């Protein structure tokens, strides 16, 4: 405790001493370094998690699980020969669950020689058609003793093998787009404590990112493509359907031909995304959502989610709120360039509160390696919160604003648009229009701006560009583009 | 009245064509026919052709075919401006999508639209009069750093591919490619991979017992699949793409097991199988599975004198007869240390089944 007080004292005095610099950069707050890697390793990261003893466990593209000691900077082999490991959960210092393509495997070092000698099948109770796109993700613990795993759909760029695992339903392939030939492709599954794998929620295309939020809510990202006009973050609840149709053939009592159901019916069945990530602007391929615990020393964004992104040198930040029983909110850049590379696939917070980011490409857009992001203290100039109001939005900033710029209506540009829900690949921005600001109000503490808009329409993305707004000492707002997915209008 | 627009166009052009005729004939000998250049966008962010040569001023008919599963375009730039054009395209933001990620710039000489997977686009490109190396690149966000090639506008020879800095490093020919280490640990035997392998189920395992002797075991069907000699597997195609390509078997398969060979109980019915996993003993896997609820362990080791294997099998408390269906139609010798033959089956009592060894080795004769 004494130590923390001392640390706080040092921080505060440093802050006071430094004053606010005008040319302050984001990299003054978040320092990015590259982690050294052993020779001979193809460092495409499929999965990462920390061990209780502080070592980082990483699964790589060629099937290795390696352990990295941040103190000694040494790498050590723990397991090998796995097939496309894309998920990993540490159970203890000698036991790891790893999700590889064909199975969830329990790796265990029983003789304490540092290397796993048991590779036991925790569950393989799901189908494999041999289609290369049937990736498997997770396991993410739900805090109640269960694990969530995600099963990717099959790609229409390839067929299925003669020999498969699991029941085969040719009707799971509607002829266009991603398909679900074997159970439970396009589903999230729950592995119960007694190792039963049960369908949990349907309607996913490529659920690469799975994570739990502050209050135990489950969040999953999905990738732009057929039935996804743009990439999404879903708030997932048991039994619900999230829009990609192929998975429905494995729904109990499903009897219809996938091609004979009207789009309007599909539309009524789905739960909308909590956040849409506008394609080509914000994200082309979002990955893991990772919640920033309040207890972490990682800046002012405790309780919010970070989301990785493959195609841009970017990690996003998501600010959520529940309106009328529906989760919704805004996304904004958290780190954009400033030394971060692309291919941001897996993230984990280390015991010291630093963020570790594993890269991959997998012959798509991406990169290799691991970067570590360390918070240096202080308060970066940023939007802390964006909340919907009945007639507009409320913005809260991390620092007091310069009143003059903050009060100018022309410094805030809103446009809104939506994305089609259809079987075609992606969607342009539809019904795009500028939205005029009727009224602007800056709070007394100059940390909040309330923007009243001409119109607020549910089911649209409200895309806000903030120009020229700075802190009272003149520090510019860098992450100045925010996208709020307005599912419901607050009353 | 209906007018055929095509006819109208021809009629309208007729005077012009007639007027051009003499000069056209006059030039015929010097003007070469337009060459077709076909370039495919292929998996792994690359063009199948990374360079080609045209004469200064030559007109070529370029056809871009997108065989990949992502969207791509092709932008031809002036020499040494590839990276700048890629950066300009990235800065277009959401404007980019509407403009095919082709920036407004004097550096751009020609471009295709963004092609969705499976689509094709053709255009004529007139090579500049000025000799030089004109890059082409995919400016779709994220692709430009690795997906490019070069048009050599010259009457000279192109330089050797191996040293050509105008094509992506991994495409500079096999001669520059050294066999790199595949892992951060030495490639010793025995070793193993779960991967996509030929002639088996999608949940299979390749085990290299020695660098000369390997086998495939199917964790989906819980059974041995095949045995091969003179090598292990080559995973470069499988790892290099998105995982679609199978691992290549190196060597010759000389023994295959066509079905689950074990039966439990007097009626020789096909057992229900359940995969438990494997444990490593001196880096050899011991497979564990259940047949009709009875736990089975299988240890496989190489024979020393010829190409073959010992399979040490343990049924844990089977409480019933265990049968092993002898292989047929294969060029192997099969030996066993327990049980007795009954027709095509080896019959094992519960105690014999608790530990027995099958030796299967290459033979000149078919059994």
Say how many CA atoms lie within 13 Å of A138 toward its Cβ.
30
Q: Return the pLDDT at B304.
A: 83
Q: Which two tokens stand for residue A352?
A: 């010291």
Share of chain B above pLDDT 70, in %: 89
Q: In chain A, which residue's Cα lies nearest the Cα of B199?
A: A163
Q: Return the pLDDT at A1.
A: 43
The pLDDT tens digits for A362-374 are: 888 899 999 999 9
B239 neighbourhood in chain A, CB within 8 Å: 42, 61-62
A304-334: b or e for each residue (b if 16 or more CB lie within 10 Å)? Answer: bbbbbbbbbbbbbbbbbbebeeebbbbbbbb
Number of Cβ within 10 Å of residue A200's Cβ equals: 22
Distance between terminal CA atoms of chain B? 83
Confidence band of B91 (pLDDT split at 50, 70, 90): confident
Share of chain A above pLDDT 70, in %: 95
Higher-confidence residue: A330 or B5?
A330
Number of Cβ within 10 Å of residue B343's Cβ equals: 9
Q: Return the pLDDT at B76.
A: 95
Task: Please give the Cα distance from A200 to A146 (Å, whole number).
Answer: 12
Beta partners for residue B277, in sequence order: A120, B288
B244 neighbourhood in chain A, CB within 8 Å: 132, 157-158
The pLDDT tens digits for B323-361 are: 999 999 899 999 999 999 999 999 999 999 999 999 999
Q: Which two tokens stand for residue B114?
A: 């963004």
Task: Please give the Cα distance from B289 to B312 (Å, whole number).
Answer: 14
A77 neighbourhood in chain B, CB within 8 Å: 184-185
Specify the length of chain A in residues.
Answer: 491
A163 neighbourhood in chain B, CB within 8 Å: 200-202, 220
Query: Distances in Å between the alpha carbon of A119 and those of A104, A190, B178, B208, B336?
Result: 10, 21, 33, 17, 29
Q: Does residue B94 have a pLDDT over 80?
A: no
Closest CA to B255 of B358, B203, B328, B323: B328
Q: Select from A41, A117, A163 the Cβ nearest to the Cβ of B183.
A: A41
Residue whose entry in the numeric block shows the structure tokens 């049924």: B315
**Positions of E strands within A71-205:** 74-79, 87-92, 95-100, 103-108, 118-123, 136-141, 147-151, 187-191, 197-202
Q: What is the DSSP-derived secondary structure letter of residue B329?
A: S
Confidence band of B17 (pLDDT split at 50, 70, 90): very low
Q: Does residue B141 have a pLDDT over 90?
A: no
DSSP SS3 for A38: coil
- Rounded to the nearest angstrom, the minimum Cα separation between B287 and chain A is 10
Q: Do the Cβ atoms of B219 and A133 come within 8 Å?
A: no
Q: Which two tokens stand for residue A469?
A: 């707004």
- Rounded to the nearest angstrom, the minimum Cα separation between A150 and chain B is 18
Q: Which two tokens stand for residue A119?
A: 């590779």
The pLDDT tens digits for B254-312 are: 999 999 999 999 999 999 999 999 999 999 999 999 999 999 999 999 998 889 999 99
Q: What is the dihedral of CA A37, A39, A43, A49, to 10 degrees?
A: -50
Confidence band of A401 (pLDDT split at 50, 70, 90): very high
pLDDT (average), residues B106-124: 92
**Positions of E strands within A390-444:** 392-397, 412-418, 430-435, 437-442
pLDDT (average), residues A12-40: 74
The pLDDT tens digits for A217-245 are: 999 999 999 999 999 999 999 999 999 99
Q: Return the pLDDT at A7.
A: 53
Q: Does residue A14 have a pLDDT over 60?
A: no
Interface test with A, best of B202, B216, B234, B274 (most A CBs within 10 A): B202
The pLDDT tens digits for A279-309 are: 999 999 999 999 999 999 999 999 999 999 9
A124 neighbourhood in chain B, CB within 8 Å: 203, 219-220, 275
Task: Please give the Cα distance from A379 to B129 (Å, whole number).
Answer: 57
Q: Do the Cβ atoms of B277 and A311 come within 8 Å?
A: no
Q: Select from B43, B94, B117 the Cβ nearest to the Cβ of A363.
A: B43
Beta partners for residue B207, in sequence order: B192, B215
Q: Does residue A390 have a pLDDT over 90?
A: yes
Q: Return the pLDDT at B365.
A: 81
pLDDT (average), residues B5-10: 44
Q: Do the Cβ atoms of B220 and A128 come within 8 Å?
A: yes
Q: Is the ipTM of this complex over 0.90?
A: yes
Interface test with A, best of B139, B146, B194 (most A CBs within 10 A): B194
Q: Return the pLDDT at A4.
A: 55
pLDDT (average), residues A50-58: 98
Number of Cβ within 10 Å of residue A404's Cβ equals: 12
Q: In chain B, which residue's Cα lies nearest the Cα of A285?
A: B142
Q: Does residue B20 have a pLDDT over 70?
A: no
Confidence band of B15 (pLDDT split at 50, 70, 90): very low
To which H or E segment does residue A405 belong? helix A403-406
**Contact by Cβ (8 Å): A217, A140:** no
How far is C-alpha B10 from the geometric centre of its chain's CA atoms? 50
Q: Return the pLDDT at A393.
A: 98
Q: Return the pLDDT at B33.
A: 64
Beta partners for residue B38, in sequence order: B63
Please name the residues in contact with A136: beta carbons below 8 A apart, sequence gap of 6 or more.
A84, A86, A87, A99, A100, A101, A102, A104, A126, A149, A150, A151, A152
Confidence band of A264 (pLDDT split at 50, 70, 90): very high
A66 neighbourhood in chain B, CB within 8 Å: 184
Q: What is the dihedral of CA B114, B118, B123, B127, to 10 degrees?
A: 80
Task: Please give the Cα distance from A133 to A151 (Å, whole number).
Answer: 10
Q: Does residue A11 have a pLDDT over 90?
A: no
Number of Cβ within 10 Å of residue B302's Cβ equals: 22
For residue A468, report the phi and psi dihedrals to the nearest 5 degrees: 65, 5
Q: Select from B184, B193, B196 the Cβ nearest to the Cβ of A81.
A: B193
How do beta strands A305-309 and A286-291 pair?
antiparallel
Q: Which two tokens stand for residue A267?
A: 């539309």
pLDDT (average), residues B214-220: 98
- Rounded to the nearest angstrom, the minimum Cα separation between A215 and chain B is 35
Task: Please give the Cα distance from A333 to A480 (Å, whole number).
Answer: 8
Q: Do the Cβ atoms of A117 and B185 come within 8 Å?
A: no
**Contact by Cβ (8 Å): B133, B150:** yes
Please name the residues in contact with B349: beta carbons below 8 A apart, sequence gap of 6 or more.
B321, B339
Q: In chain B, which residue's Cα lies nearest the Cα of A343?
A: B142
Q: Return the pLDDT at A94.
A: 97
pLDDT (average), residues A121-131: 98
Task: Please give the Cα distance from A484 to A463 (Å, whole number).
Answer: 6
Q: Return the pLDDT at B174.
A: 54
For residue A452, report the phi and psi dihedrals to the nearest 5 degrees: -95, 130
Please name the residues in contact with B308: beta carbons below 8 A apart, sequence gap of 6 or more.
B227, B302, B332, B333, B359, B360, B361, B362
A106 neighbourhood in chain B, CB within 8 Å: 277
- Rounded to the nearest angstrom, the minimum Cα separation between B127 and chain A is 31
Q: Does residue A438 have a pLDDT over 60?
A: yes
Interface test with B, best of A59, A61, A79, A80 (most B CBs within 10 A): A80
- Rounded to the nearest angstrom, the minimum Cα separation between A157 and chain B is 7
Interface size A-B, in CB pairs within 8 Å, comes to 143
Q: Do the Cβ atoms of A77 and B185 come within 8 Å?
A: yes
B241 neighbourhood in chain A, CB within 8 Å: 363
Task: Please give the Cα distance from A203 to A217 (Å, whole number).
Answer: 18
The pLDDT tens digits for B154-191 are: 988 888 888 899 999 888 875 444 567 899 998 899 99
Q: Select from A64, A362, A425 the Cβ nearest to the Cβ of B242.
A: A362
Q: In chain A, which residue's Cα lies nearest the Cα of B203?
A: A102
Q: To the nearest whole number, what is the mean pLDDT of chain A? A: 94
Q: Return the pLDDT at A22.
A: 61
To which H or E segment does residue B256 belong? strand B252-256
B193 neighbourhood in chain A, CB within 8 Å: 63, 81, 83
Task: Please give the Cα distance from B92 to B109 (Å, whole number).
Answer: 18
């Amino acid at each position: 405790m004494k130590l923390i007080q001392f640390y706080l004292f040092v921080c505060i005095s440093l802050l006071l001493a430094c004053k606010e610099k005008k040319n302050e950069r984001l990299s003054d707050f978040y320092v990015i370094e590259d982690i050294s890697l052993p020779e001979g390793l193809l460092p495409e990261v499929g999965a990462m998690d920390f061990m209780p003893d502080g070592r980082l466990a990483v699964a790589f593209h060629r099937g290795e699980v390696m352990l990295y000691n941040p103190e000694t900077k040494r790498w050590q082999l723990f397991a090998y020969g796995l097939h496309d490991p894309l998920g990993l959960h540490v159970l203890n210092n000698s036991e790891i669950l790893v999700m590889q393509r064909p199975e969830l495997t329990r790796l265990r070092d029983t003789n304490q020689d540092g290397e796993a000698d048991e590779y036991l099948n925790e569950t393989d109770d799901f189908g494999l058609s041999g289609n290369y796109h049937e990736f498997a993700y997770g396991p993410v613990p739900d805090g109640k003793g269960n694990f969530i795993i995600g099963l990717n759909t099959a790609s229409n760029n390839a067929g299925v093998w003669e020999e498969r695992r699991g029941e085969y339903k040719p009707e799971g392939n509607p002829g266009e787009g991603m398909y679900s030939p074997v159970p439970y492709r396009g589903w999230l599954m729950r592995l119960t404590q007694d190792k039963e794998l049960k369908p949990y929620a349907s309607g996913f295309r490529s659920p690469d990112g799975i994570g739990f939020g502050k209050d135990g809510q489950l969040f999953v990202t999905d990738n732009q493509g057929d039935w996804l006009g743009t990439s999404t973050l879903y708030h997932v609840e048991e039994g619900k359907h999230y829009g990609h149709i192929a998975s429905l053939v494995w729904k109990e009592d499903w009897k219809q031909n996938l091609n004979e159901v009207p789009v309007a019916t599909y539309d009524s069945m789905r739960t909308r995304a909590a956040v849409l990530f506008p394609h080509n602007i914000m994200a082309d391929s979002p990955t893991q959502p990772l919640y920033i615990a309040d207890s972490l020393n990682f800046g002012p964004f405790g309780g919010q989610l970070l989301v990785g992104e493959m195609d841009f040198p970017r990690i996003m930040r998501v600010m959520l709120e529940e309106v009328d029983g529906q989760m919704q909110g805004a996304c904004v850049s958290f780190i954009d360039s400033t030394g971060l590379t692309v291919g941001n696939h897996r993230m984990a917070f280390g015991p010291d509160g630093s963020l570790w980011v594993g890269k991959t490409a997998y012959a798509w857009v991406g990169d290799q390696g691991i970067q570590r992001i360390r918070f240096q203290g202080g308060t970066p100039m940023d939007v802390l919160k964006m909340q919907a109001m009945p007639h507009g939005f409320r913005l809260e900033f991390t620092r007091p604003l310069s009143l003059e710029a903050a009060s100018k209506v022309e410094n805030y540009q809103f446009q809104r648009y939506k994305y089609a829900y259809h079987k075609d690949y992606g969607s342009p921005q539809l019904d795009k229009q500028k939205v005029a600001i009727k009224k602007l109000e800056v709070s007394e503490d100059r940390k909040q701006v309330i923007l009243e808009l001409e119109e607020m329409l549910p089911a649209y993305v409200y895309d806000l560009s903030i120009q020229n707004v700075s802190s009272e000492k003149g520090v510019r707002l860098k992450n100045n583009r925010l996208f709020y997915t307005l599912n419901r209008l607050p009353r | 009245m209906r007018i055929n627009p095509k006819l109208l166009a021809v009629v309208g052009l007729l005077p012009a064509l007639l007027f051009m005729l003499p000069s056209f004939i006059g030039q015929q000998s010097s003007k070469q026919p337009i060459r077709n250049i076909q370039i495919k966008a292929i998996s792994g962010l690359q063009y199948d052709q990374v360079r080609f040569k045209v004469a200064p001023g030559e007109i070529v008919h370029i056809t871009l075919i997108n065989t990949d599963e992502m969207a791509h375009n092709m932008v031809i730039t002036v020499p040494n401006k590839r990276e700048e054009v890629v950066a300009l395209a990235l800065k277009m933001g959401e404007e980019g999508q509407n403009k095919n990620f082709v920036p407004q710039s004097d550096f751009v000489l020609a471009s295709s639209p963004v092609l969705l997977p499976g689509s094709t686009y053709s255009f004529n490109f007139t090579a500049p009069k000025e000799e030089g190396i004109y890059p082409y690149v995919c400016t779709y966000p994220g692709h430009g750093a690795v997906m490019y090639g070069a048009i050599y506008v010259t009457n000279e020879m192109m330089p050797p591919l191996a040293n050509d800095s105008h094509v992506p490093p991994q495409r500079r020919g096999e001669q520059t490619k050294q066999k790199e280490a595949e892992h951060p640990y030495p490639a010793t035997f025995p070793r193993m991979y779960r991967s996509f392998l030929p002639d088996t189920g999608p949940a299979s395992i390749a085990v290299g017992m020695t660098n000369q002797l390997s086998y495939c075991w199917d964790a989906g069907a819980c059974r041995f699949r095949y045995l091969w000699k003179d090598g292990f597997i080559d995973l470069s195609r499988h790892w290099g793409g998105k995982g679609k390509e199978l691992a290549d078997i190196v060597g010759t398969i000389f023994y295959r097991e066509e079905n689950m060979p074990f039966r439990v109980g007097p009626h020789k019915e096909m057992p229900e199988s359940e995969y438990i996993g494997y444990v490593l003993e001196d880096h050899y896997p011991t497979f564990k599975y259940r047949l009709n609820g009875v736990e089975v362990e299988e240890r496989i080791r190489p024979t020393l004198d010829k190409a073959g294997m010992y399979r040490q099998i343990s049924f844990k408390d089977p409480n019933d007869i265990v049968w092993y269906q002898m292989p047929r139609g294969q060029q192997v010798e099969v030996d066993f240390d327990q049980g007795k033959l009954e027709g095509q089956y080896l019959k094992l009592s519960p105690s014999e089944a608790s530990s027995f060894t099958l030796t299967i080795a290459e033979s000149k004769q078919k059994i």
